[in-house]
Amino acid sequence: MPVDVSVAARPVQSGTNPSVLEAIRDEDCSLAIWQRGESHVARPLPFGKDGNLRLKARREAIDPALRAALPAGNEALIEDAAALAERFGAIMEFDAVALRLEIVETDACRIAAGEQPEDIHSLQPGDVGIFKGRLSSGKPAIHRSPPIGGSGERRLLLVVNPVTRDVPTGH
């Protein structure tokens, strides 16, 4: 099921090459989407609701930190999440990132936007998006997930944010 992203007044860059994500550094870009297809979608979801994970790590320590935190059998997820977090850190020029990996079973992203979007873009399963949020200058990209509450559907959500303070190596 796609995730809708509302963008007010700024261009969106999208494409099938991962280098498209670098467009987010452009002042005029609020959303960069790497359309990589469903081959990267975790099926079945790799761990239960209690397995949700939050960690902070230097870029070079993301993979080992994920391997230490997730149960065996999640190698493909670990490699993908680590590669995405490393790519984000490199694009944004941060030495460390905060990573959140969780199973979503509710209508988690249904907060109403403050202003009407000028454009709505859908991210398909497997797509990667880098958003400029409400704290960025200019117009933010706001995401809205289709409702799934009570449907039994589950989504795997990976969120990577920059860490602006020093993080010890390996943590």
Per-residue confidence (pLDDT) for residue 42, from 0 to 100: 59
Spans of all domains in the chain: 3-162
Per-residue confidence (pLDDT) for residue 170, from 0 to 100: 47
Per-residue confidence (pLDDT) for residue 40, from 0 to 100: 66
| Opening angle at CA 143, ends 142 and 145, nearest 5 | 155
For residue 5, the one-letter residue type is V
pLDDT of 145 strictly over 60: yes
Mean pLDDT over the full length of the chain: 79
CB neighbour list of residue 23: distance below 8 Å, 6 or more residues apart: 13, 29, 32
pLDDT (tens digit per residue) in 68-111 = 988 888 888 899 999 999 999 999 999 999 999 888 777 765 54
**pTM of the full structure:** 0.81
pLDDT (tens digit per residue) in 29-49 = 888 999 997 776 656 556 554
Interaxial angle between packed helices 75-92 and 62-69, expressed in degrees from 0 to 180 and rounded to the nearest 10: 150
Per-residue confidence (pLDDT) for residue 11, from 0 to 100: 80
pLDDT (tens digit per residue) in 106-125 = 776 554 445 555 677 778 88
Identify the top-confidence range among 42-56, 112-126, 139-153.
139-153
